[in-house]
Chains A and B, each alone.
Chain A
């Protein structure tokens, strides 16, 4: 009876900021370096070492906060979160607690259930990442890689605002778009630059009080967000319907078995004993600094989507596809500015361009001006749509001017009545039976003849002209 239950989900998302160096030292923040090679006394937590905030990380954090409509506080405080773990060299993580960088934002997203929905962004704070414990690298031993230690993160906490695992996923995809647009993060879940923890509870439909929540951790890819949350929701409902109670605990998701298990109490968080980090003065941001970050923000996806529908007369879905990725949106506009008709350009970008990009690591291989030229060649009747696709593929692979490519491939449409008439005669001579059927009233055979003319011309005949000549000849 899942229908009688309402699901309530809140998300805590950790996002790695796109900086060259770490949050509190000059070490490289790059992913994939040999273990323990990007380290120094500061991120190793050696005796006597001290943290110094990375200004670029602060810029990106502020941009992310502004992109999410948050109030950025002119004064925030770094705090220590104390716990013992071998991949946490200082025995504490530098984070923010009582006074975070930003609060009170919101993000609208397209809910598959409710249309446009809005999630409250309760807070956004800056912190450093911990290292990595590798339990499967050496038998019976744990290896520690501290390259990730000190990498800058922001944590983005929503209210309990999602009503289904699908909504949670839709929010995350929108969040990813905004952060990518803002240049704050590459949001690559595979590389761990976006990580999600979810608070999940269920309640009887119509109830207003929240049920007991669990925290679901270890959701490592977008594909698993929905699965993990569904599994946990179903577990809670089954538990409650069986007369049991939900226990407030942390659940770990296992993607291999698509199941959750409670975290062992040993792994549970204790009392983190947060207190202001005495090594770091309060973070005071000048209003000019905040305004500079606001000015550096590009037009964000939601605004861009609205503008596209208005300015280019596109449908909402069409505009959504075109604005999902900033590079694609910019490309689309470049095609339009190069003279292509907006609707045709939208069709091309949504189909051919995105398909090609998908196969080529998101590269937009055909220059916007070339695509605009291809579109105008179709419009002017020089290329058939089929031929245009071939030209697009050729330009993508080998480059070149579309018109030259079309000519080289012999794809330019023949609009010469004499030549077309030759192919028409050839076709009518071959299909005598069909000609008599046509003449006795089966006029829908006209398209068959056009097709045959195109075939005879190996795609070069202008189909409109072919049709006209056919009609004339068949009428006589």
Chain B
């Protein structure tokens, strides 16, 4: 596409498709504002860009000049960022159109998009179920066919988990592959912007555009943007490890069947598949739920009502202002994590929790290196232990909710690239399989994902 009239048509069609799925509560941007902005963006977009005219929705915790950036939170209701996140600026420079802000769990904390101050998003195939989270709005919009791709963000699986539950592709690149500048921080050492797409290719070409060095982010690697791999004829020469800890005895049999089929397909594509072990996997969720809240407790300290965002009653005294604003502005899950994080960083507890968790994190990362050092190129696992669950099912049981990230948090703890792609359906609900790659070999991981995607019959029951 390089014709301005086509971009305009694309913009209008995207707006129409987003309106059509309004009931999903996936897009937080008011439709009038969205339509007006899309049209304006289409006429301003540079026709030579590689994503010219492509509508890309953006998770509400990524800063954009267009629309508000509320992070699914009441504490940032109506907040407008004075700058674009680097990833967003790169999308615009490539001619893409920012197609609204998508619903998410507040500040990315959650796995169902039920922890949004703006109401839960619905699963596009079953309104009684959740689309996953925290990037649930992005996943639902892509799954509903409203946009070919959307930006999400991950701290412990928030792109891959909803991708799995909604039957789309979700990529979390290597930590440092995409600038975090403008991604509202949750757990900075784990956070990474990711992409949800209809296909590996849609997600990959967006990832390629947003990746690469950024002088504004000291944790972003000084590397060129990601090279898009070719779709390989076969996976000859690839060694794919299947960590036994990810296929436990009590795994949902249907999920196991879907995985077994995917593994068979990988073999048929020419890959050598081996069982491997990542012995510290059992500690991953506990480790994650110390480190992520610790960083969150500090990252979210800035929301105090003093400088931006709404103020709540109690503004006569600064302490009262803080208490009222943070007490009412944050939802229960955010408050829970801020409290946990504050606790684990407190003097007297730091060594027992935070320091120990960092040590465990190093061991988990070492597990992966050990496997990769022994000639394994990639790992294959299920993305989630179950397909989409019912709304409300885990809302009052935080630990059950946390366990839905059990197969995804390790890639964040180890900073590795990972992708979820559909590997079948269970009673009509999609389920995803996950490939975990080696650090900064995102392209190799995408190559295998292209091949597997082509081989899997996605609509087929497992």
Q: A-side interface residues toward B, CB under 8 Å?
A: 41, 44-53, 80, 82, 84, 86, 89-92, 142, 144, 266, 271, 273-275, 278-281
B218 touches A84 (CB 8 A): no
> Which one of B180, B298, B319 contacts A80 once the chains associate, using CB atoms below 8 Å?
B298
Residue of A nearest to B69 (CB): A47
B307 touches A48 (CB 8 A): no
B218 touches A53 (CB 8 A): yes
Q: Enumerate chain A residues within 8 angstroms of B210, measured Cβ to Cβ.
A: none
B306 touches A50 (CB 8 A): no
B62 touches A48 (CB 8 A): yes
A48 touches B185 (CB 8 A): yes
Docked Cα-Cα span, A171 to B359, in Å, equals 42
A52 touches B354 (CB 8 A): no
Residue of B nearest to A133 (CB): B318
B224-232, B342-350, B436-444 - interface stretch:
B342-350
Docked Cα-Cα span, A49 to B216, in Å, equals 8
Q: How far is the CB of A254 from chain B (nearest CB, A)?
A: 23
Docked Cα-Cα span, A51 to B272, in Å, equals 44
Tell me whether A82 and B345 are in contact in the complex, defined as CB-CB below 8 angstroms, given that A48-B185, A90-B301, A275-B294 are known contacts. Answer: yes
Between A89, A266, A279, the greatest number of chain B beta carbons within 10 A of the residue's beta carbon is seen for: A279
The answer to whether the Cβ of B237 comes within 8 Å of any Cβ in the partner chain is: no
B79 touches A271 (CB 8 A): no
B218 touches A50 (CB 8 A): yes
Docked Cα-Cα span, A271 to B297, in Å, equals 14
The answer to whether the Cβ of B140 comes within 8 Å of any Cβ in the partner chain is: no
Q: B-side interface residues toward A, CB under 8 Å?
A: 62-63, 69, 71, 76, 79, 81-83, 85, 180-185, 187-189, 215-219, 294-295, 297-298, 300-302, 304, 306-308, 318-319, 322, 342, 345-347, 350, 354
A-B contact pairs, 21 of them (CB 8 A): A47-B69, A47-B184, A48-B183, A49-B182, A50-B216, A52-B216, A80-B298, A84-B301, A86-B306, A86-B318, A92-B298, A271-B346, A271-B347, A273-B298, A273-B342, A273-B345, A273-B346, A274-B345, A275-B345, A280-B218, A281-B219
Q: Enumerate chain A residues within 8 angstroms of B219, measured Cβ to Cβ.
A: 50, 278-281
Tell me whether A47 and B181 are in contact in the complex, defined as CB-CB below 8 angstroms, given that A84-B304, A92-B298, A281-B218 are known contacts. Answer: no
Q: Determine the main DSSP class of A at the interface with B.
A: loop
B298 touches A275 (CB 8 A): yes
Docked Cα-Cα span, A50 to B214, in Å, equals 11
A279 touches B181 (CB 8 A): no
> Which one of A47, A92, A273, A278 contacts B63 once the chains associate, using CB atoms below 8 Å?
A47
Residue of A nearest to B318 (CB): A86
Residue of A nearest to B181 (CB): A50
Q: Enumerate chain B residues within 8 angstroms of A273, measured Cβ to Cβ.
A: 297-298, 342, 345-347, 350
Instruction: Name 4 extra pairs, CB < 8 A, besides A52-B215, A82-B297.
Output: A47-B185, A92-B298, A273-B342, A279-B218
Docked Cα-Cα span, A91 to B307, in Å, equals 12
Q: Which 6 A-B pairs have the closest CB atoms?
A: A91-B301, A278-B189, A278-B188, A273-B345, A48-B182, A47-B184
Q: How far is the CB of B81 from chain A (nearest CB, A)?
A: 7
> Which one of A47, A53, A275 contacts B302 once the chains associate, using CB atoms below 8 Å?
A47
